[in-house]
Amino acid sequence: MPDTLLRARLLTFTREPQGSEDHGAYRFVEDGALLVSDGLIKASGSFGDVREKAGDGTTVIDHRPCLMMPGFIDAHLHFPQVQVIASWGAQLLDWLKDYTFPAEALYADPAHCERMAAHFFDELVNNGTTTPVAYCSSHKTSADAYFAEARRRNMRVIGGKVLMDRNAPDAVCDTPQGGYDDSKALIRDWHGKGRALYAITPRFAITSSPEQMEACGALAREHPDCHIQTHLNENHAEIDETMALYPDATDYLGVYERYGLLRSNSLLGHCIHMQPREIDILAETKARPVFCPTSNLFLGSGLFDYEGLRDRGILSAIATDIGGGTSYSMLQTLHEGYKALALRGGNKLHPLRAFYWMTLGNAEALGLSDRIGTLDVGSDADIVILDSRATSAMALRMETAKSLAEELFILQIMADDRSVSQTYVAGEAMKRQADTAGQI
């Protein structure tokens, strides 16, 4: 493969921006470039400087005036819910029973898993997402299909089969031993292979018996480098049912605490209705809440307290939660996130912070910022190219944009997959055929 030089307006973050004037939190180069070789970023900076480092025969692709950023990271979504999005009328527990479990039951069939995996990754790439952190169904075959499709595309992914052995139809339930054995086999086959990482995935306390929670605790002890993902405090009825099923637990988080599931690579979806003690435990264990705004608004679950958690030093991730969530687009997710935080009445979500969040912020929450979420030299070449004038309405609005922050906010509020002009995965153009290129 010849090296590739990508030319565009380069934006990458170095830490969380504290406001418009916090220029030290990011690197923006108006005529910027990346030199990509063997799936990695070899040079990053101004076009003039990077060009000097490129050898003869390097392919040059000019994406100006688009922005070039690290590929987006979606820290919580459900692969077997691609046909659950836009299911009408219910709150969480009815939505699971009426729509989600029946849809997930179909993933016992490998052919269905393979077809849906291809669509799932197509949608992610169309929307500029280069790393998903996904729940598969309880069937091992769904996780095999997820990881196999990711490997075909050389994508960095995290995922796991859900463990669930009760309070759901037989067609989506496993058993404590079966769930443990399948998780072990999946970890053996996929974890750390190529760009894949495994997440131990008890669905939530309602659908796992104490015996299965013990098995999850064993998996967690045996595989400290695997992520752990589950749901927490999404909905009042869910919390009441959890406390009825685990009457000895101090609170909902206490269930996961008891079975050893809380650590810095634990991802807890939603975390909306938190008790003070639970917030203390998050701060102590460094388990990460995951904010899923489109889902929280769609299912009527509630408003995530981003600022309250942040003030306690708790690092949150942000995610689509397909298919409780309503869009694959992380841009749309940050759009709804802006509105959800506005409804709480606190500070508005600044666009610099929003773009940091879905790139370096999520990479930090996943413990992967040495590889993804940045355009620094040595990182994986997972890159998104964004067109701030992709629609006529955006082009009109851009006529009056005076700053980078204003342009980013237009993208955050008005953009969707139409603004994702290209997505590079490990240096390969994945959204559409590589653009016409010149050579040095």
Residue 131 backbone dihedrals phi, psi, to 5 degrees: -130, 115
- Do 229 and 252 touch, CB atoms closer than 8 A? no
Residue with tokens 């307006």: 9
The least distance separating Zn ion from the CB of residue 322, rounded to whole angstroms, comes to: 9
CA proximity to 315, closest of 277, 352, 268, 273:
268
397 binds ligand GUN (CB under 6 A): no
CB of 155 to Zn ion, least distance (A): 20
Query: On the CB side of 267, how many CA atoms lie within 13 Å of its CA?
Result: 34
Q: Is 107 in the site for ligand GUN (CB under 6 A)?
A: no
Q: Quick check: 203 binds ligand GUN (CB under 6 A)?
A: yes
What is the identity of the amino acid at 22?
D
Through-space distance between the first and last CA atoms of the chain, rounded to whole angstroms = 15
Region near Zn ion per CB under 5 A, out of 36-44, 93-101, 204-212, 268-276 = 268-276
- With contacts defined by CB under 5 A, name the span among 124-132, 261-269, 327-335, 373-381 that binds Zn ion: 261-269
Q: How far is the CB of 246 from ligand GUN (least distance, A)?
A: 15
Nearer to Zn ion, 278 or 321 (CB): 321
Task: Scan residues 48-87 and list those touching ligand GUN (CB under 6 A).
Answer: 78
| Paired sense of beta strands 129-135 and 72-78, if any | parallel
The Cβ of residue 109 has, within 10 Å, a number of other Cβ atoms equal to 14
Site string for ligand GUN, 111-150 (x = CB under 6 A): ----------------------------------------
**What is the rounded CA–CA span in Å between residue 238 and residue 252?**
10
CA distance 141 to 147: 10
Give 361's DSSP letter.
I
- Residue of 352, 359, 357 whose CA lies nearest to 373: 359
Residue 269 engages Zn ion in binding (rule: CB under 5 A): yes
Q: Which stretch binds Zn ion (CB under 5 A): 50-58, 150-158, 262-270, 350-358?
A: 262-270
* One residue of 7, 153, 231, 397 binding ligand GUN per CB under 6 A: 231
User: Minimum Å distance from CB 324 to ligand GUN?
Assistant: 3
**170 to each of 11, 105, 164, how far by Cα in Å?**
49, 9, 10
Interacting stretch for ligand GUN, rule CB under 6 A, among 12-20, 92-100, 142-150, 343-351? 92-100
CB closer to ligand GUN, 140 vs 270 = 270
DSSP single-letter state for residue 91: -
Binding site for ligand GUN (CB under 6 A): 78, 92, 96, 100, 203-204, 231, 234, 295, 321, 324
